[in-house]
Structure 1
Amino acid sequence: MTRSFRFGVVAPPATDVSAWRDRVRRFADSGYSTLLMPDVPRWAPAPGPALAFAAARTPLRVGTWVYASPLRPAWSTAWEAHSLSVLTEGRFEMGIGTGRPGIEDELRELGMPTVLPRERLDRVRETVATLRELDGPDRHTPVVMAVRGPKAQALAAEVADTVTIAAMPDDTRAFVTGMVRAFRPGRDVELALHVPAVGDTVAPFMAPPDLDPAALRAADSLAFLPDDPVAATEEIQRRREEIGYTYFVVGAVAADRLAAAVAELAGR
């Protein structure tokens, strides 16, 4: 069966918490399903408290987009994720990955030991296993994994509920489509698409600041969506029909521009 559309928005709190709270409520009214927080130390408040705060004030689902596994012990991430799942009464989704490009420099700046790529993936596996132990038989916290290489894809096929292919800015539509079609989990897994550029706007926390929307548009990149509501609606439907994407994640700076398309497609 074809999954229904849903839409998430990456929206870390700004300095004006009251304005951020009002904005989050507007996202909920527009049809967005999920409020997401990045895991970027020093750039934004920690995801756990921010998500708990938002969940207490809106009906939105909440999640991390995504925990960087090298930044904390597996048990700590799992404990926080399980706690958020309990406190939100099942509205939390644990997004997790092995870290953004340049994570080694970030670890050194924080005075933390660097973690080899294989160890990062092992930590993701351990985090999910610990989360399942904490959840027990009566709770299932959804796991969202950002993956790229074959080992990460294999782990996601085993343990994830939702998967997003961690595409690079210069990846073509054909290349990413090929990666998605080659991903065969053998069970029902939701496919999510990370869209950092909408129209001329690039979302902070979702892409490098020098990302060129015009170049993405010219290359027919999946990292781009038009901000015209009709064109965006048609393109989102095309991506479900041709590739299988049903969960679309955009940045807060573009959420209002896509609101009409979200209202038209959410739940369909």
Structure 2
Amino acid sequence: MKESAERDSRNFLFYYYLNLVKEYSPKAFVFENVPGILTARKGEVFLKIKEEFEKIGYTLLSGTTNIDKNNVIDFGEFGVVQKRKRVILFGFKKELNLSYPNFHSDRFQWSHDLNTYNILNDLPSLHPGEGSDHKLSLYTNTDIKLNEYQKYMRKDSIGVMNHKARKIQERDRKIYELSIKLAEEGNQLKYPDLPTELKTHQNEKSFLDRFKVHPFNSMPHTVVAHISKDGHYNIHPDLNQCRSLTVREAARIQGFPDNYKFEGPRTAQFVQVGNAVPPLMSRVIAKSIKKMLLK
């Protein structure tokens, strides 16, 4: 967020969480956030957060080192199938005198590459506008040999919901085709490189990465709530489908099992998925802290 983080009122939403901790007095708590929380206002915001929790009897750690800004972790290193840099703040009652959890000891270890192909290729193929937001669609690719991750996602499920593809305008379809073809060659389309007739604005410095594909042979990039506004930053890598990700595909990347149902209109569903802590990472965090507390 750069300079806008200096003015962002969301930096102070932690007061709501502070009140919850104060009310229920847990032994420990976790607090996930974007890396900017550590450096906002030159570190003053995080210093304030630590001070406020200190006042109610809690120690708050940002990671394993004493230098807070060095404690950013990538969830992709723990078995989550996307590059997702975040901060996990760990708080505990002072008298417990705990250390920061060792999340690596409980990370998921898959027997195959964590690329987009291995995550999404077993889901029903869709063209723009096809699929359903709330109707159950049975698995169609029955001849595919499922990998370990796909079996984990399919557990206790006979199909998928929230698998509806956005419609697409002709201009965007042409841009998606260009993006996918470049991604197949290991390159990314930059906005200034678009043909003039496909450009919609003159600002060619602020929107360099406006269109981005999740390449089949690479780990997916971070899925965030902005996917609710448009799908340009989350283009499906299959040229035959030529569309953006569905809610279900975004959920697969986030690590939500297929039997999760997302409620409300599609915009709200995307927000639910994009704002979530990936369930796989939640499991890693919970197991690590449980072992620590049981000791």
- Which TM class, normalised by the smaller chain length? under 0.3
TM-score norm. by structure 2 comes to: 0.26
Larger Rg: 2
TM-score norm. by structure 1 comes to: 0.27
Between Structure 1 and Structure 2, the one with more strand by share is 1
